Amino acid sequence: MVKTLEIFGNYIDGKIDKDGEETTLLSPIDGSEFGKLYLADEEKTKAAIDSAESAFRKWSMTTLNQRQEILSKLLSIVEEKADRYAWLESANTGRTLRQSTFMDVTIAIEHIRYFATTTEFVESRTIEHPEYPGTKGIVQYRPFGVVGGVAPWNVPLLMAVWKIMPALLTGNTVVLKPSHFTPATAFELAKDLSAAGLPPGVLNVVTGEGSVVGTTLSRSEKIKVLSFTGSTATGKRVSREAGGTLKKILMELGGKSPNIVLSDADLDKAAKGVLFGIFLHSGQLCESGSRLLVHDDIKERLLSRIKFYMERMKPGNPLDMETDIGAITTREQRRKIEELYNRGLEEGAKLFFSHNLGTGVPEGGFYFPPTVFSDVSSTMDIAREEIFGPVLTVTDFHSDGEAADIANGSKYGLAAGIWSNSTSRATGLANRIDSGTVWINDYHMISAAAPRGGYKESGIGRELGLDGIMEYTQTRHLFYGSDENALGEIARGLVVSDHD
């Protein structure tokens, strides 16, 4: 790639810090050097936490309107720099530029807009006490303090927006750890928040190995809320590390989401939706529809349509707006995908289709062909384990009840899709599926106003929407006594009497 080498220093107390171990960032597009990154150590992470703690008191006293004004200024900056954000996201993650432009950056802008303009969140409400006539109370929704955010490598811009914006909106300060593989857009966002008027220390961004930076955030008594997105295995380890601190933990973890096509579905629409569900960002999304469950009456016809569209997916340089197939973000992840692919073959799954990338992708890049396994039983590892890559498994069913049983047979419960021409039938099935999001005749449509999170081993807590905002608040009750409250006088008389 012919671009100026990007340099990323940690962002602490409003300043860019380029002191620390230097590491090279390789672009998964062609394996070329994309940038330089300075890794934070435990001491630097603690400095970022201390900076956020020092900034908290003053920031928490700002008004909701003042905080939203800063987010509104950020919105204008990001809109103006949309092309820059899209390029950074694609060059750093290997995602196609078309997807970064029309999905990641577009959604990020709309989600910043939501937090900058929402009227759903209010900082207090008035209540009456039914036991004590004449009295009133104020229930306040107050910030916790310092929020630690640990983000994965797959969708760094959206992860940064989802972890920073609601925390700032509610008056918290933040220490964000983006992945040391894909830190580019998180650092860009931090700089732009500063330009929008965010005071020093309110947001700090440090990146490095999870065993160093992540563990320091988990164990710190000064971190009051920890928001983590990543694998279920890592999430369990984070919980153990944070266990002695009594901090609030929010987690969005792994998924093995079913995309269910019922017998009355529009097959052409369903085929496109299934492919979108699994191959967006090369399957490297927690909610990717990696399990296709299809009614046996329509299985062959649906697979025929899927193959028809897969043959037309265009490989190429992801920075070309015409390219359909992106890269795998890290070399390590490509290796994991290959291991599970080979295990599928060993287990007896039928290789229905694998796209021949040939010489169509840049040499030196990290790529894996879009792949479909058919005749997959629910007991196979490829149907149970999160592959986190462009691999779709196909399992058939005979009844809606059987589809629900197969869908719920996973330890995960992040998302699901249902395709049917009957809204009532689809809704009935959706109500039987254990997952945090169910799309009906659609997939991957994430709304800033809707809560997002998982059931079972897919997570704890919610992101986005009012539910996600409230996760960053703690309630306080102010009780206002009144002379009209006769019961109050009686209660005090239980201890202090006016009689001699």
For residue 440, is pLDDT > 80?
A: yes
Distance between CA atoms of residues 60 and 241, nearest Å: 28
- For residues 429-447, average pLDDT: 98
Q: What do you get for the CA distance between the two ends of the chain, in Å?
A: 91
Burial class of residue 184, CB neighbours in 10 A (0-12, 13-18, 19+): buried
The helix/strand count (H/E) of the chain reads as: 17, 23
Query: Which of 126-135, 143-152, 396-405 is the least confident region?
Result: 126-135
For residue 1, is pLDDT > 80?
A: no
- Using DSSP's 3-state secondary structure scheme, residue 75 falls into helix
| Ramachandran area for residue 343 (φ above 0: left; ψ -120 to 50: alpha; else beta) | alpha
Q: Could you give the count of Cα atoms lying within 13 Å of 234 in the half-sphere of its Cβ?
A: 18
Q: Which of 359, 270, 258, 254 lies closest to 306 in space, CA to CA?
A: 270
Q: Which of 460, 456, 335, 313 lies closest to 388 in space, CA to CA?
A: 335
Q: Which residues are catalytic?
A: 252, 286
Q: Which of 324, 334, 319 lies closest to 284 in space, CA to CA?
A: 334
- Residue 500 has a pLDDT of 65
Query: For the residues of 451-500, what is the DSSP string, one character each?
Result: -B--EETTEES-BSHHHHHHTTEEEEEEEE--TT-HHHHHHHHTTS-S--
Confidence bin at 483 (pLDDT 50/70/90)? confident
pLDDT digits (tens, 9 = 90+) for 296-343: 999 999 999 999 999 999 999 999 999 999 999 999 999 999 999 999
For residue 392, is pLDDT > 90?
A: yes
Q: Could you give the count of Cα atoms lying within 13 Å of 452 in the half-sphere of its Cβ?
A: 21
- Residue 489 has a pLDDT of 82
- For residues 255-278, average pLDDT: 98
Confidence bin at 368 (pLDDT 50/70/90)? very high
Q: What is the largest CA-CA distance in the chain?
A: 100
- Residue 400 has a pLDDT of 98
For residue 222, is pLDDT > 90?
A: yes
- Residue 135 has a pLDDT of 94
Distance between CA atoms of residues 151 and 136, nearest Å: 42
What is the pLDDT of the chain when averaged over all its residues?
A: 97
pLDDT digits (tens, 9 = 90+) for 87-124: 999 999 999 999 999 999 999 999 999 999 999 999 99
Give the list of residues 6+ apart from residue 131 with CB closer than 8 angstroms, or none. Answer: 487
All domains of the chain, ordered by start, with CATH? 6-253+458-477 (3.40.605.10), 258-440 (3.40.309.10)
Distance between CA atoms of residues 259 and 280, nearest Å: 14
Confidence bin at 290 (pLDDT 50/70/90)? very high
